[in-house]
Structure 1
């Protein structure tokens, strides 16, 4: 079964592979969408105003609007044209500016409505120019919307609005952006718009157009080819030798357009508007950029993340940056074995654990920096989405049988992400994020499991591994730990925090605080889930004060007392209930003492 590629996909692929080989031709359809009149539209309106000011009745005014050339021939001298009108109505530059501002510059109301400002088409095209995909823009429009869109992207274009300027222009290949305004600028008396003016071009325009149409591919939008006879002739004269022609469907329906498409073997691109055309084109090229971009170094990725965090406009870039690293972890999870040939060897299990911990090393600094540099929690949903993605990858239904030790190990990256985000949130006094991660992210621990568990229980030590398995790992050289799973995690997760906690004792104290909080969440959810709070080294030897209170509880209470927010009070049932809950929790974890 064959599949026909979308013309837009073909164009995006071609532009991405050969940046800079396409020029763009913009017609009035691109600017009228912004509420900007055509040059001829300005002429009609000015003639209508003259007819009204000249004392004409409504019939005369209607005639001036419907057939301005006939009205002008009967009531005025000279040939009707843009320059003729402006010379008579506004002979000075200042007068012209005042006369034309109403047509081309937005007033306060229009600015609020987004009129007479660069459209999505202008903005998307400006991004293509900035990224080197397009270098030449030909336009029949008088306005300066394209220039404004480029300047907003930090690009200063070379603007050629008069044919005599062609001889002094920089070569097209040497200019980052060239705008060729064939019909002039709206403030320029040399602007062209009448049928006679559009019937032929000066030699300079014809030479420049021949060069562009011969050396570049062409993307046409908003131009019908119905009135611009000279421009149609320039296209017909140029042989189709190098790159293809693409034309949007909305403006390519006329006879002239169809003839040009046939002569140059052009392609019609389905699009309901210029906004849709260029927005989708820019989006497709962005997707190709992401696909072909080499992996970022950890330092560069971290630098970009910090820039994106501070810019509300870059939310999508931030999401894509982080999720690219998440995707790499997901790929590692999918490629890791979940079964073994014969009895599982402890070295194989150790290698599997180490592979999962290593797989998150590029993502870990992004998570830590992301949570730390987002003190108001504007991006908390992103960190929830990251954990959910890792949980989904770790609980994906396998297509084959699985080993009871290898299958749950697929959730180790998710646990590491929970610990990184949770511990950073604790340090940043944003413990509500830890609670969100532990309760909102959900998954099924085993294929076919009926119940969906929150992350706090899904990532419980007893679900990820077993004390016997951990103690059997060759890395310990026969040493057996009192709390094996807790010891392994506190040891292996330090790699992600060595810059934050250079001293292991400081890091270990922070990790014990995370274990305590995770246990609080687990215990609160226990009535519906069957697993109690995790045990661990945080309740082991030397972890209790002389007053019988665990050190982590005392630290937790101090932090709660000085916290700006009260997420734990809310989660545990209110300030009045917090003390009772903490004391009951102390009774639970006191049973885990093993010395």
Structure 2
């Protein structure tokens, strides 16, 4: 149960210097988990998903059209007053159950009829998806600000947005589910669908259906309204009589009521806000309200939490590294730096969609943003892997595993290159681990770092592969985008822009580990070759692509056994990478992989 004593809630009234959006952010930040959301149809308008009443009207119109095919106005006439038309032509009042029973009596036909209103049409994955508001709400849930969501909508946009950030919500859409749910305070988030789910025959839409709630649902609603603060958005209070009564009958509010209104303010809404002395936020749509709220709360986070500096983090890591009693401290240090990256890797901070005119700027901004977000982690990995003796390898691997999950779900609408870039932090982390392993002569670590974790594009049906395949820099970073933002001093394009940019941007984290620029570049080139050999070691020809980079240049590759070609002589049964399990532990596979890289360079590589 949320309570003032338990949470130390601070109520800050709106007025004067504190504008309503500021008051809401201050209250929610000071009392995480204390505020519930009440979301109406307005939250989903931008998604293209139809409202519940809109679906009822449309289906009634279709029924009327097929009932009177010779009347071209039949559909419009029925949709003008669906309830009146239904009662005049059937033996029972209009209701969601009766409507679907008549129009689509079988579960399969009902599902097919309803899906067109709520699910993207084939080939249009960017339609009917979560809005910016839904995704901002998911971020609020993820950080613990929101634990209860009441919604009159029966779409699944809220659930989809939560799943995109790795949260499986507890969903209540039918009264009989309530008895078995986790206590609200014990669930990361509970979504209470007051009008049911779109595929549920018990959904409530018509005026009669909205007159009263089942007893179990009414009791749960009253509990939420009594124990939690409330943020209302997108709800007109025009039709939901039972919900209006429930909000109105709440005896006293433990916490403030914030009501966001965009457009017409209904009489019922005005009465409720006056009754509860609500803080009204006027003139913001749902997207603006919640994205602004996230920004304000994050600003307060920066004030209340003094983040450890990058250099201090490295010092702390070096002290904890050799001490077995500080292993948890080291784990938390690295894990928290990964969490900071993940929290910034959202469409609000790193867009996955851009117009043709803004694409280049967005690409460059994202590249620089991901690099800046990853800075502390990259310094920790460079120093940690180099000085470690293998004791903490699981910590370094976990960092990459968490970053790889940034692409475990696909956004509704995206640009291919910006979406793929969500793996850039994982690529930078893996590259840093690899170069540190080369410098510390621990190349056996690459037998896991370039094979695990396995991943594939969600719902693609493709086999799962290791980082040597899906983190290939040529897949993650568009050459065209890099040419626009990263040029040579003379203004010319780099032959291998991905390779050059990564080596340049990762030089600084290795300063304490390897002061010599020459030694650093040699280690980077060796890592590129080893990663390329593993990438070529596949029975799928379309996947056999090296990490084509500057190690292909004659200045690095060498002639007559010099440079990187000398690695061929190392390929024996005692080669550390082979003994650790790389190439399945088979020498022949390693030799063939080197030959394949050499052949690829000869056919496609630029050697000057």
TM range (shorter): 0.5 to 0.7
Per the TM alignment, residue 23 of structure 1 is displaced from its structure 2 partner at its CA by: 0.3
Match of 2:122 in 1: 108
d(CA) in 1 for partners of 2:508, 2:232: 57
Q: Secondary structure at the match of 2:109?
A: helix
Superposition pairs of residues 470-489 of structure 1, within 5 angstroms: none
Per the TM alignment, residue 252 of structure 1 is displaced from its structure 2 partner at its CA by: 6.7
Find out whether 1:29 has 2:22 as its counterpart: no
d(CA) in 2 for partners of 1:75, 1:494: 77
Match of 1:95 in 2: 109
Conserved? CA contact 2:39–2:234, under 8 Å? yes
Match of 1:222 in 2: 234
The 1:7–1:238 alpha-carbon spacing in structure 2 relative to 1, beyond 3 Å, is same
Q: Secondary structure at the match of 1:211?
A: helix
Conserved? CA contact 1:252–1:268, under 8 Å? no
d(CA) in 2 for partners of 1:431, 1:15: 40
d(CA) in 2 for partners of 1:383, 1:142: 47
Match of 2:182 in 1: 170
d(CA) in 2 for partners of 1:497, 1:94: 63
Query: Which of 223, 245, 253 is equivalent to 2:257?
Result: 245
d(CA) in 2 for partners of 1:200, 1:224: 17
Conserved? CA contact 2:170–2:189, under 8 Å? yes
Match of 2:78 in 1: 64
Match of 1:161 in 2: 173
Match of 2:65 in 1: 52
Superposition pairs of residues 369-388 of structure 1, within 5 angstroms: none
Find out whether 1:131 has 2:124 as its counterpart: no
d(CA) in 1 for partners of 2:203, 2:371: 47
d(CA) in 2 for partners of 1:17, 1:272: 23
Q: Secondary structure at the match of 1:179?
A: strand
Conserved? CA contact 2:341–2:373, under 8 Å? no
The 1:272–1:319 alpha-carbon spacing in structure 2 relative to 1, beyond 3 Å, is farther
d(CA) in 1 for partners of 2:274, 2:340: 51
Aligned-residue Cα RMSD (Å) equals: 4.2
Deviation readout 1:241-296 (Å, 9 max, x if unpaired):
31111111216711111111111111112343111111111121122223333323
d(CA) in 1 for partners of 2:501, 2:48: 47
Deviation readout 1:544-570 (Å, 9 max, x if unpaired):
xxxxxxxxxxxxxx9997279xxxxxx
Conserved? CA contact 1:184–1:192, under 8 Å? yes
Q: Which runs of 5+ in 1 are unaligned?
A: 326-364, 385-424, 435-492, 512-557, 565-595
The 1:431–1:121 alpha-carbon spacing in structure 2 relative to 1, beyond 3 Å, is closer
Find out whether 1:73 has 2:69 as its counterpart: no
Q: Secondary structure at the match of 2:37?
A: strand
The 1:4–1:36 alpha-carbon spacing in structure 2 relative to 1, beyond 3 Å, is same
The 1:55–1:318 alpha-carbon spacing in structure 2 relative to 1, beyond 3 Å, is same
Count of residues paired in the alignment: 373
d(CA) in 1 for partners of 2:89, 2:129: 36
The 1:316–1:137 alpha-carbon spacing in structure 2 relative to 1, beyond 3 Å, is farther
Find out whether 1:17 has 2:17 as its counterpart: no
Q: Secondary structure at the match of 2:262?
A: helix
Match of 1:210 in 2: 222
Per the TM alignment, residue 430 of structure 1 is displaced from its structure 2 partner at its CA by: 5.9
Per the TM alignment, residue 310 of structure 1 is displaced from its structure 2 partner at its CA by: 11
Q: Secondary structure at the match of 1:218?
A: strand
The 1:254–1:429 alpha-carbon spacing in structure 2 relative to 1, beyond 3 Å, is closer
Q: Secondary structure at the match of 1:77?
A: coil
The 1:62–1:244 alpha-carbon spacing in structure 2 relative to 1, beyond 3 Å, is same
d(CA) in 1 for partners of 2:483, 2:303: 26
Structure-2-length-normalised TM-score: 0.54
Per the TM alignment, residue 510 of structure 1 is displaced from its structure 2 partner at its CA by: 9.0
Q: For the pair shown, which has the larger CA radius of gyration, 1 or 2?
A: 1
d(CA) in 2 for partners of 1:67, 1:508: 79
Query: Which of 245, 248, 271 is equivalent to 1:259?
Result: 271
d(CA) in 1 for partners of 2:30, 2:159: 26
Q: Which runs of 5+ in 2 are unaligned?
A: 1-14, 318-332, 352-365, 378-427, 437-472, 488-495, 522-550, 558-608
Conserved? CA contact 1:142–1:185, under 8 Å? yes
